[in-house]
Amino acid sequence: YAVGMGWIPSNPMTSVKKPSARRTKEMTVWGADEVAAFLSATESHPLSVLFRLALYTGARRGELLGLRWGDVDLGRGRLAIRQNLVLVDGVPTFGTPKSHEARTVDLDESTVTVLRRWQSDQHDQLDGLKPFGDLVFTRADGSPLRPDTVSWWFRKAVEESTVHRRISFHEMRHT
């Protein structure tokens, strides 16, 4: 329009290179049989409860690692996602969830039972010590888990399970 009106000598957009379409990796998710097979295969894994919550709640890895017992209401069968844990220069740091808003997730009865058992097991494992930051998921000494370590353990658990389709930790959120 500006060229036609004589306001500019040429169209500056003719020399602009158009961006190419971004290809996104197609999301892989498991079906109910694959979820059941994976959870069965990882029943005795130290991170089995974390894997279960990832599959049943859709919480992100950092949200699960930042989950505190104070955010879990086993009586009402729900948990609140209020913070996440990320590494900043190798140091575990708490922040707000990706959406910057807390959200509540309802839990089924069997997951509540698993969490009750995990709370007792964690208490025994830590020999009465409080986990760092009241975290639900910690290392054996009560310190925070590293996100990259959790992903590594997940990949290894998937490889050792009978589930043939491989998914990433993040894809559990969408399963």
User: pLDDT band for position 26 (50/70/90)?
Assistant: confident
The per-residue pLDDT for 51 is 98
The per-residue pLDDT for 98 is 80
Question: Whole-model pTM?
Answer: 0.82
The pLDDT of residue 118 is above 90: yes
Average pLDDT score, the chain: 92
The per-residue pLDDT for 81 is 95
Handedness of CA 22, 158, 90, 118 (dihedral sign): positive
The pLDDT of residue 100 is above 80: no
Q: What is the pLDDT averaged over residues 40-60?
A: 96
User: pLDDT band for position 35 (50/70/90)?
Assistant: very high
Q: What is the pLDDT averaged over residues 21-47?
A: 90
